[in-house]
Amino acid sequence: MQVILFTQSSALNNIWRGYFTDNNNIKFIHNRKEFFSHLDADIVGIDIDIFKDNIDDIIKSINDKYPNTKILILSNRPKIDEGKRLLALGIKGYANSHMRKMHFEDAFETISNGNIWLYPEFIQAMIGELTGSYISSEGEKADKKADLSELSSREREIANLIYQGLTNNEISEKTGITLRTVKAHTTSIYSKLNVKDRIGLVLLMKQLDA
């Protein structure tokens, strides 16, 4: 997995380099010419401040010319409305540019696996706005009578932590189980409850709380 992180902020560049000094799969870019010559990477992380006035056009251009490249937009001040607009344009991730290393790692893996990664507060803010069509892999609305009885006690614990907005890395730290085991549990949870991802799970659990 080849990742490009692009910012013209020295402060951000230093933070990101500090996170991934020894990771040869992550390249740090700080000028536009070099950025536009590396758009065939698996994931391109873009500091939105660089393209304040034309980020929409940049996203559309990358999607058109490099359909296999997945875009992660990073913002110093992420906003719900902005995130929703950019998601509609086809980005695969929207996050705070100053988030912790574990969140970056979680974002890279989630996006690489073909899923969308959003920072926890964004997911919580969107819960009330998303429709039931997001829940079922067949596009059918989940039955409100569904419950968590099919889950093991550990799976219910992890499902509740996901509902609270914790990432896989944070769940691993909190529960003391390995990240690999957390991922195995989440896959099982999604399968048993017939949801696609953590947003679908959060929506379903919100329905159950209603």
> At 127, which amino acid appears?
I
- Residue 71, exposed/middle/buried by CB under 10 A (0-12, 13-18, 19+)? buried
Q: What is the pLDDT of residue 118?
A: 84
Task: Note if the pTM is more than 0.75.
Answer: no
Compute the CA torsion angle 191, 108, 122, 127 (nearest 10 deg): -10
Q: What is the pLDDT of residue 209?
A: 66
Q: What is the pLDDT of residue 184?
A: 92
Q: What is the pLDDT of residue 199?
A: 76
Measured CA to CA, the distance from residue 47 to residue 29 in angstroms comes to 11
Q: Give the pair of three-digit tokens for residue 170.
A: 């944070």
Segments in the chain below pLDDT 70: 124-147, 209-210
Q: What are phi and psi of 75, to 5 degrees?
A: -135, 140
**Considering only CA atoms, which of 107, 89, 92 is closest in space to residue 26?**
107
Q: What is the pLDDT of residue 128?
A: 54
User: 27 pairs with which residues across the strands?
Assistant: 4
Measured CA to CA, the distance from residue 17 to residue 72 in angstroms comes to 17
